[in-house]
């Protein structure tokens, strides 16, 4: 189920806006796709976009008066059709995509012919339900409550009606005009009651339905009742038209999209038809439509709850992989910033002591976002830690990890990685740069400068050698390593942040590693203004202080 539009009301008017999966802006600015003209709405207030699991997400863009979903203020929230979003005095509701909500019905493609038969179309007015049919309608509505999902609704309806009315029942999907009614119809569900003379389930391949009835329902979006009269051709197999067994057909629209109409079709013996079968058919069609919406919404809520629980578990697992920076040697100062673009991400940062007293650190970026990237990142974490336990030759380590990733990485995915090894006693810094953004060296009294410019291939692409380079990180020096969530962040004008702005943002001396990160994140946030975070973002800073 995937809504494709929203309906906005403000007490005076109501309008609809189609959603863009890449993002639909909401705000007071006339340039916003959903323009809300109110002083209580921020210029860029919020946006709605489609997440990686097909769900629509609403995100508050740091608005002054907030975004409320079902009367709860939210920062970011996965939405369901029918849920109410409140921004100032505006009510925004996600609409059902009826195409998708009915697509889950089991479709049986049979050889069904739309046949012109000698029917009299008798459109009658609605009347009060007599008590026997009213009980039938109530029982049918109650039976819908026991259905586990909307996929069974149509067949269940046909089974119930066939048994209760001693009728042939079907639900047919027809294209909307001006497309002609095809000879081979799309039968979504059907059921037969054996007492109907000459009607047998095995004859479904020869089932014929009234073309005039179906065409009238789909064209006028109205219910139709037609009663048979003698016909010399006897073309029908299931809906028999003869002098001995005159039939009556009732049909009513259940749901209609831009492309098609689903129609409830009931064929029964005229002598057995209740007096108000036409009104009953209309009422059943409405009940099926209501049940369809309720079941679809209930299913979506259950799926969202399950997915949210799984994402929360994945987020908890990933959070435990964040390194502990509290046990560093006294003269080392390190800080880490990590913010996934979604619930979990593919950025990687790890810091840990080796068996010989050195400090290993790795910053990487798995291509893509979301759960697939997060799963590959977790695998990288385990492989790197395990390999480093046996060797501190970083070229050998990276080659082993690359070989491992080549065996499990899907085509088109890869990992950039900067792996460093710092000796606090000698200030020796060894590193391998596998396709990652070159870090910056930080100086206490000079501007940052690039280093690690020798860049090998990313991991997971081809089997190739890697180069370990030795350098020195002197006292009062440090380094900063980022992922492309920083350098490729865009401004509202479409400009990228890039390395020049990064260098300028951290050019002044800072008192701590955390202060360097705070300065950078503040500048990046200002640069992107009201735009959302576009990619996983990681910043790692390591400062080598003079030993006291």
C-alpha distance from residue 4 to each of 32, 75, 297, 459 (Å): 17, 22, 15, 39
Model confidence at 101, pLDDT cuts 50, 70, 90, reads very low
Residue 238 has pLDDT above 60, yes or no: no
Superfamily of domain 102-295 in CATH is: GAF domain (3.30.450.40)
- CA distance from start to end of the chain: 63
Residue predicted with more confidence, 424 or 341: 424
Model confidence at 127, pLDDT cuts 50, 70, 90, reads very low
Segment 57-77 shows an average pLDDT of: 89
Segment 211-229 shows an average pLDDT of: 86
Residue 327 has pLDDT above 60, yes or no: yes
| Strand ranges (E), 177-223 | 186-191, 208-210
Q: Which of 4-18, 94-108, 238-252, 289-303 has the lowest mean pLDDT?
A: 94-108
Model confidence at 131, pLDDT cuts 50, 70, 90, reads low
How would DSSP label each residue in 255-296? Answer: EE-SSEEEEEEEEEEGGG--TTHHHHHHHHHHHHHHHHHHHH
Contacts of 426 (CB under 8 A, 6+ apart): none
pLDDT above 70: percentage of residues in the chain:
84
User: 163, 194 in Cβ contact below 8 A?
Assistant: no
Query: Going by DSSP bridges, is the β-strand pair 34-35/347-353 parallel, antiparallel, or unpaired?
Result: unpaired
CA distance 76 to 98: 26
3-state helix, strand, coil in the chain (%, to 5): 30, 30, 40
The predicted model scores a pTM of 0.58
* Fold classified for 322-544: Phosphatase 2c; domain 1 (3.60.40)
Residue 528 has pLDDT above 60, yes or no: yes
Helix axes 277-319, 370-388, angle to 10 degrees: 20
Residue 311 has pLDDT above 90, yes or no: no
CA distance 82 to 76: 17
CA distance 261 to 218: 6
Segment 527-533 shows an average pLDDT of: 78
pLDDT above 90: percentage of residues in the chain:
38
Q: Mean of the per-residue pLDDT values for the chain? A: 82
* Fold classified for 5-95: Tumour Suppressor Smad4 (2.60.200)
pLDDT tens figures, 151-183: 899 999 999 999 899 898 999 999 999 999 988
- Torsion angle, CA of 187/192/197/201, rounded to 10 degrees? 70
Domain residue ranges in the chain: 5-95, 102-295, 322-544
Model confidence at 97, pLDDT cuts 50, 70, 90, reads low
Model confidence at 314, pLDDT cuts 50, 70, 90, reads low
């Amino acid at each position: 189920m995937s809504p494709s539009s929203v309906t906005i009301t403000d007490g005076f008017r109501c309008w609809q806006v189609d959603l863009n999966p890449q993002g639909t802006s909401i705000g007071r600015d006339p340039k916003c796709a959903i323009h809300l003209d109110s002083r209580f709405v921020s210029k860029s207030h919020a946006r709605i976009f489609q997440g990686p699991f097909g769900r629509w997400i609403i995100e508050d863009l740091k608005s002054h008066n907030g975004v409320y979903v079902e009367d709860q203020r939210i920062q970011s929230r996965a939405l369901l059709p029918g849920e109410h979003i409140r921004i100032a005095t505006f009510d925004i509701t996600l609409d059902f995509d009826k195409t998708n909500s009915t697509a889950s019905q089991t479709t049986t493609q049979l050889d069904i012919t739309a046949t012109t038969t000698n029917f009299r179309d008798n459109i009658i007015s609605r009347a009060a339900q007599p008590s026997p049919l009213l009980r039938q309608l109530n029982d049918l509505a109650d039976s819908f409550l026991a259905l586990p999902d909307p996929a069974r609704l149509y067949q269940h309806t046909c089974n119930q009606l066939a048994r209760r009315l001693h009728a042939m029942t079907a639900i047919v999907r027809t294209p909307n005009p001006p497309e002609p009614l095809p000879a081979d119809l799309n039968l979504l569900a059907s059921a037969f009651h054996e007492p109907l003379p000459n009607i047998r389930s095995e004859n479904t391949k020869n089932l014929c339905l009234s073309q005039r009835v179906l065409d009238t329902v789909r064209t006028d979006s109205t219910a139709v009742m037609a009663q048979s009269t003698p016909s010399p051709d006897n073309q029908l197999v299931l809906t028999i038209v003869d002098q001995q067994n005159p039939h009556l057909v009732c049909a009513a629209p259940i749901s209609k999209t831009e492309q098609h109409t689903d129609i409830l079709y009931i064929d029964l013996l005229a002598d057995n038809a209740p007096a108000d079968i036409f009104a009953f058919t209309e009422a059943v069609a409405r009940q099926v439509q209501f049940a369809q919406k309720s079941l679809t919404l209930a299913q979506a809520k259950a799926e969202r709850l399950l997915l949210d629980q799984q994402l929360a578990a994945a987020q908890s697992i990933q959070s435990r992989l964040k390194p502990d920076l509290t046990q560093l040697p006294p003269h080392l100062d390190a800080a880490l910033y990590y913010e996934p673009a979604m619930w979990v991400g593919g950025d990687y940062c790890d810091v840990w002591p080796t068996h010989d007293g050195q400090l290993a650190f790795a910053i990487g970026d798995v291509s893509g976002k979301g759960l697939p990237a997060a799963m590959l990142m977790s695998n990288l974490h385990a492989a790197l830690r395990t390999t480093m336990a046996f060797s501190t030759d970083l070229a050998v380590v990276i080659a082993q990890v690359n070989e491992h990733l080549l065996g499990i990485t899907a085509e088109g995915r890869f990992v950039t990685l900067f792996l460093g090894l710092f000796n606090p006693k000698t200030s020796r810094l060894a590193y391998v740069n596998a396709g990652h953004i070159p870090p910056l060296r930080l100086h206490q009294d000079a501007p940052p400068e690039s280093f690690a410019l020798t860049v090998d291939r990313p991991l997971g692409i081809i089997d190739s050698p890697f180069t370990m380079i030795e350098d020195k990180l002197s006292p009062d020096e440090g380094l900063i390593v980022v992922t492309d969530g920083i350098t490729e962040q865009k401004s509202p004008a479409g400009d990228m942040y890039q390395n020049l702005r990064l260098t300028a943002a951290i050019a002044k001396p800072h008192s701590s590693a955390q202060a360097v990160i705070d300065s950078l994140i503040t500048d990046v946030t200002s640069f992107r203004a009201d735009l959302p975070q576009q990619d996983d973002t990681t910043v790692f800073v390591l400062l080598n202080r003079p030993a006291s």
